[in-house]
Amino acid sequence: MKNDIRFQRRRTVLAALGATLAGAALPAWAKYQPDQFRIGYQKAASTLVLLKASGTLEKRLAPQGIKVSWTEFPAGPQLLEGLNVGAIDFGYVGEAPPVFAQAAGADFVYTAYELPTPHAEGVVVGKQSPIKSVADLKGKKIGLNRGSDVHWFLVALLQKHGIALTDIQPVYLAPADARAALQSGSIDAWAVWDPFLAAVESQDGARLLADASGVASHHQFFLSQREFAIKRKDAINVALDELGKTGQWVRANTAAAAAKLAPIQGLDAATIQIGLSHYAHEYRPIDAGVIAEQQKIADTFYDLKIIPRRVTTKDAVLA
């Protein structure tokens, strides 16, 4: 019932925003604009952040009369709401946020995905914790960012070990709050992704209990506003080409990439380099296989009543 209420509220907010944006006084930022390419990003999205810093996308699209702008979001769910209400045209999130967004009525399309990166997320415990195995998580408080990629990872990890979601106590916290809670002992474990995972291990001595290897693919997705994806496929293709080049550079120059990201992400370069090594930095067009994996997440979340209605993930793919 609580999940239904939360999602109903979110659907109501999205509907209200949509109604407002569909009216005569539609704000300029919410309209499709053929000469604008508005990109949403998160600081943890390393390749996209490096592309922003380089300015190469702006240079390539300028001859076409397209202006690139960037908006930072704290997490995937907020970015997807921005995409849904027309604040941005393109963004990068993990595998769970699109499922939550579809369940809440958001309209977007999958555009490309990053190759699997299961080592880039994990469950950690404090260095003095008596917890030694996943089985020991029964009855424990586990911090996670609700609706993020680790939400699916934690569900899949528990299922693999025969633990019901009701056997643990989820505590929904943003990364900074979850790290403080783990340090203070307010939570027993934390499901988190890089670079936060690398930071809590290297700086706090947290112990990795399990990563997503053999549990979840940990795909990352580039998503687009539907109208923009249809009408400005040329701009999106240029962006994906530049992202591919940036990813190739990161793979060949991980230390240099970490040094560039350090002042942006607010972490030391050594920690960022560890996190970067866990990501593929290599992208592919959306295919049936990855959409089937998304459907499995959606079906599992619905069966567990994490989302209030069934969704069909292929509805978010352009024909």
What digits encode the pLDDT tens for the residues 60-82?
999 999 999 999 998 888 898 89
Rounded to whole angstroms, the Cα distance separating 222 from 39 reads 10
Worst-scoring range by mean pLDDT, 11-15, 143-147, 310-314? 11-15
Return left, alpha or beta for 192; rule: phi > 0 is left, psi -120 to 50 is alpha, else beta: beta
- 3-class SS letters over 19-32: HHHCCCCCCHHHCC
Q: What is the pLDDT of residue 300?
A: 97
Closest CA to 293 of 116, 151, 161: 116
H-helix or E-strand spanning residue 262:
helix 254-265
Look over the chain and give the mean of its residue pLDDT values, rounded to a whole number: 90
- Beta pairing, strands 141-144 & 189-193: parallel
What pTM value is reported for the model?
A: 0.86
28 pLDDT tier (thresholds 50, 70, 90): low
Going 115 to 210 to 76 to 281, the CA torsion angle's sign is negative
State mean pLDDT over 147-155: 94
21 pLDDT tier (thresholds 50, 70, 90): very low
Both tokens assigned to 293: 């994996």
DSSP secondary structure of 183-198: HHTSSSEEEEETTHHH
Identical fold for domains 2-117+219-316 and 119-211, yes or no, is: yes
Q: Is the peptide bond before 195 cis (omega within 30 degrees of 0)?
A: yes
State mean pLDDT over 159-166: 96
Residue 18 predicted with pLDDT over 80? no
State mean pLDDT over 207-224: 96
Q: What type of residue is 230?
A: I
Both tokens assigned to 190: 């934390």
Q: What type of residue is 264?
A: I
Q: What is the pLDDT of residue 103?
A: 93
| pLDDT tens digits along 228-248 | 999 999 999 999 999 999 999
Whole-Å CA distances, 56 to 62, 245, 280: 10, 10, 21
The fraction of the chain above a pLDDT of 90, given in percent, is 80
Residue 3 predicted with pLDDT over 50? no
Number of C-beta neighbours around residue 189 at 10 A = 28
State mean pLDDT over 167-183: 96
Q: What is the pLDDT of residue 19?
A: 33
Q: What is the pLDDT of residue 65?
A: 96
Burial, 158: exposed, middle or buried (Cβ in 10 Å; 0-12, 13-18, 19+)?
A: buried
Total length of the chain: 319
Burial, 145: exposed, middle or buried (Cβ in 10 Å; 0-12, 13-18, 19+)?
A: buried
* CATH assignment, 2-117+219-316: 3.40.190.10
Q: What is the pLDDT of residue 196?
A: 93
Rounded to whole angstroms, the Cα distance separating 234 from 46 reads 23
Listed by start position, the domains of the chain span: 2-117+219-316, 119-211
Judge whether 163 and 226 are in contact, CB under 8 Å. Answer: no
Rounded to whole angstroms, the Cα distance separating 314 from 319 reads 9
Residue 145 predicted with pLDDT over 60? yes
Rounded to whole angstroms, the Cα distance separating 45 from 37 reads 18
6 pLDDT tier (thresholds 50, 70, 90): very low
Closest CA to 236 of 111, 50, 110, 72: 111
Phi first, then psi: what are they for 12, rounded to 5°?
-65, -45
27 pLDDT tier (thresholds 50, 70, 90): low
Worst-scoring range by mean pLDDT, 167-171, 188-192, 210-214, 263-267? 263-267
Number of C-beta neighbours around residue 193 at 10 A = 25
- Domain with residues 119-211, CATH architecture: 3-Layer(aba) Sandwich (3.40)
The fraction of the chain above a pLDDT of 70, given in percent, is 91
